[in-house]
Amino acid sequence: MTSILEVEQLDTLSSNASSTLTIGGTNTTTIAFGPNVTTTPSSLANTPAFHAYRTASQTISTGAWTKIEINVELFDSDSNFDATTNYRFTPTTSGKYYIYGSVNNGVYNVAQYVGIYKNGSQELLAQANSDGGSIVNVSGTVDFNGSTDYVELYTYVTTSSTSTQGQERTFFGGYKIIGA
């Protein structure tokens, strides 16, 4: 038998200083109400999430894919990005993620590709041809298993003596997509 309770408003008792409403007895669910809600249910959080950038130039090999050594984290909600050793994001929660990256090489007359690699294989790719310096952005959705899958940012250039530009113009980031 199913029962339906219809009300226009639920409110906590004035003696309930925590402003929480508990539903159930043995199997309880606690819901926080009011303008001072301080927590978000984990099912509604876009985490794990990170955004990191390169602080200085990095030499890029001509005619070969080079991993971008993203070395400063602006934020990393679950400590899933390694900015010191392998420069990769390995989320510990499975699901679909929006992943993005940008590489600015500042070199003239170059064809440049930027790729996001998943588990060592190219997953997403973008290209730009430039006669005035090149910034290439790549982004897309990537599925992660929550244990071993990882992504890294790579670039490929066709002109020698190339280096990325740091100072937050070369960056890498991503976040879990809720509801997908």
Judge whether residue 38 has pLDDT over 60.
no
Give the domain extent around 99: 45-176
- Name the residue with higher pLDDT: 176 or 19: 176
Say if 13 falls within a structural domain. no
CB-CB contact of 71 with 55 (8 Å): yes
The encoded tokens of residue 106 equal 């500042």
108 torsion bin: left (phi>0), alpha (psi -120 to 50), beta (else): beta
Asked if residue 71 belongs to a domain, the reply is yes
pTM: 0.75
Say if 19 falls within a structural domain.
no
Give the count of domains, the chain. 1
Cα 146 from Cα 113, distance rounded (Å)? 28
Could you tell me which residue, 95 or 131, shows the higher pLDDT?
Answer: 95
Residue 134 to residue 174: CA distance in whole angstroms: 22
Share of the chain above pLDDT 90, in %: 48
How would DSSP label each residue in 15-62?
A: T-TT-EEEE-SSS-EEEE-STT-----GGG---SEEEEE--S-EEE-B
CA distances from 130 to 2, 37, 127, 157 (A): 66, 49, 10, 11
Residue 79: pLDDT band (50, 70, 90) is very high
Give domain status of residue 15, yes or no. Answer: no
What does DSSP assign to residue 81? B
Between 118 and 157, the higher pLDDT residue: 118
Identify whether 135 is part of a domain: yes
Answer whether residue 31 is part of any domain.
no
Instruction: Report the CATH number at residue 111.
Output: 2.60.120.40
Q: Is residue 16 part of a domain?
A: no
